[in-house]
Amino acid sequence: TQLLEQSPQFLSIQEGENLTVYCNSSSVFSSLQWYRQEPGEGPVLLVTVVTGGEVKKLKRLTFQFGDARKDSSLHITAAQPGDTGLYLCAGGADRGSTLGRLYFGRGTQLTVWP
């Protein structure tokens, strides 16, 4: 069972275009995290959002956490070839003695062409 549905799975756009990636779930999470991964490397944390309705901006990237803490979106403005990579959303759930369990979405492979 996939707890987090991420869409689209693939995205191929031209430099300068805007895009949005969505991450949806029927479950409530204590946090929603976004990672970016390049081939052969580990994922790198971009942002963590913890409060329903929270919006965070990181230069051209805008992250939003849904009011009910079940969904999130990543919006990139004026995409650049350097934005190319696998974008992963992950829901955080701390239960009992298990710290920081993450549930990953399937990922969005973004390619930005010059």
| List of residues contacting other proteins (CB under 8 A) | 30-31, 33, 35, 40-45, 48, 50, 86, 88, 90, 92, 94, 97-102, 104-107, 109
Dihedral of the alpha carbons of 57, 94, 35, 104, in degrees to the nearest 10: -130
Shortest separation between residue 88's beta carbon and other proteins, angstroms = 6
Residues 6+ apart with CB under 8 A from 67: 52, 53
**Residue number with CB closer to other proteins (17 or 94):** 94
Q: Which two tokens stand for residue 67?
A: 């009011």
Shortest separation between residue 72's beta carbon and other proteins, angstroms = 13
